[in-house]
Amino acid sequence: MTTGFTQFDLKPQLMQSISDLGYTEPTPIQSQIIPLMLEGNDVIGQAQTGTGKTAAFMLPILQTLEPGKRGIKALVMAPTRELAVQVAQASSELGKGLNIRVLAVYGGQPYKPQIDRLRQGVDIVIGTPGRLKDLINKKELNLGAVETWCWMKRTKC
């Protein structure tokens, strides 16, 4: 499998997911963001809808994440439940070969299933600010082990 993504030296499981999803060449935002994040830099990126922003941020997170270690390792905040679900789904698809446990938490849904999943253990939490705050206040969301975080914002460019 030869793609433009080989330049990033990603884990074979991520390369397989990239191939399975039909990606062949990184988009401009991916080409700019992925190397910086892999080097450990803080980044801010903005691009139009459909340009691969989620993969640009999630691939480096998935590359460095060690699944199964105790505690939530990555936190992604999204302004809407729709975006939280979308980012969680994309993260699961990208990380499917890594046994990454992803959970979307957002309002409008019962707390119990989300709390049960948190208690079972997850690697990445993607949630809306209100639900994240509620779960922290309920002492159900412990962010003490978080190594990286991201704020996803849907904008009209």
- Is residue 105 scored above 90 in pLDDT? yes
Distances (CA, A) of 40 to 22, 100, 102: 27, 20, 22
Stated pTM of the model: 0.89
Q: If pLDDT is split at 50, 70 and 90, which confidence band does 157 have?
A: very low
Tens digit of each residue's pLDDT (9 = 90 or more) over 46-93: 888 888 899 999 999 999 998 778 899 999 999 999 999 999 999 999
Model pLDDT, residue 47:
83
Model pLDDT, residue 46:
84
Tokens of 83: 């975006």
Q: Are residues 77 and 149 in contact, defined by beta-carbon separation less than 8 angstroms?
A: yes
Q: If pLDDT is split at 50, 70 and 90, which confidence band does 156 have?
A: very low
CB neighbours of 134 closer than 8 A, spacing ≥ 6? Answer: 107, 111
Q: Are residues 92 and 117 in contact, defined by beta-carbon separation less than 8 angstroms?
A: no
- Of 58, 65, 76, 79, nearest to 128 by C-alpha is 79
Q: The domain at 4-151 falls in which architecture?
A: 3-Layer(aba) Sandwich (3.40)
List the domain boundaries for the chain.
4-151
Model pLDDT, residue 100:
92
